[in-house]
Amino acid sequence: MFDKRNNLSQMVESDVRKHFGSKVYNTVIPRNVRISEAPSHGMPVLIYDFKSIGAKAYLSLAKEVLQREKEI
């Protein structure tokens, strides 16, 4: 998970994007309390809190993965 307030997170993201280029997805999964809470309730975040920022980010990533698969 990415925390935009953390300089290390930003540096790692930058390095990964420079090294792997277009192989890195555009979607970033943000640090989110709801994502962390979901497993302790025995649920995936998409069921635990579908409207959370984290859940929306995972849906966005899924769409991006599917879109790239179409292009292959």
**Separation CA 60–CA 47 (nearest Å):** 16
Is 24 a domain residue? yes
Contact 28, 13 (CB under 8 A): yes
For residue 46, which amino acid is it?
L
Is 2 a domain residue? no
**Separation CA 40–CA 61 (nearest Å):** 23
**Confidence at residue 31, expressed as pLDDT on a 0 to 100 scale:** 93
Higher pLDDT, 49 or 4: 49
Domain of residue 44, residue span: 7-71
Model confidence, pTM: 0.86
Is 1 a domain residue? no
Closest to 61 (Cα-Cα) out of 12, 15, 24: 24
Is 56 a domain residue? yes
Is 14 a domain residue? yes
Is 58 a domain residue? yes
Q: How many CB atoms lie within 10 A of CB 11?
A: 10
What is the average per-residue pLDDT within 50-69? 97
Number of domains in the chain: 1
Is 18 a domain residue? yes
